[in-house]
Amino acid sequence: MVKLDGRCSANRSLMVGKILIPEIKSMIDARNFGALRELFREWPPADVAEVILDMEENDQVIIFRVLPAALAADVFEYLDVEAQQQLLRAMAHEQVVSILNEMSPDDRTALLEEMPSAAARQLIRLLTPDERRGSSDPSLP
């Protein structure tokens, strides 16, 4: 196979991810969260996001919760806004705070702009003061 750019490698990763879905589901069912975390630790965030989107909602949340915080924030940025909102509703408060504070300001702003204003204000209040100053809402301290 001739590799013209990174697409061959990325396509191969996505195929591997789809092939591994039954194994991933088995790890979740067996509550083998350490193995699940190790499986995804070296994967590119875009590939993890693709696998998450192919799973049922409950399994999506479980996978997301076992990811290291920095990887979870990167993966979150690859999800579409609807998937992001769905995960935010399903996750624990502490994890939402961690993800929002780890997201890049541009991606966080894009997410907040798509949300109803009351929900966006609620999430902005969860940001650290430094991150809040970088948010798109100048009315907050």
Report yes or no on 90 lying in a domain: yes
pLDDT tens digits, one per residue of 41-62: 989 999 999 999 989 988 999 9
Contacts of 3 (CB under 8 A, 6+ apart): 9
Our count of domains for the chain comes to: 1
Predicted TM-score (pTM) of this structure: 0.68
Question: What CATH number should be reported for the domain holding residue 116?
Answer: 1.25.60.10
Q: Nearest CA to 47 among 34, 33, 63?
A: 63
More confident residue, 95 or 16: 95
The answer to whether 87 touches 61, Cβ cutoff 8 Å, is yes
Both structure tokens of 120 = 């966006």
Report yes or no on 109 lying in a domain: yes
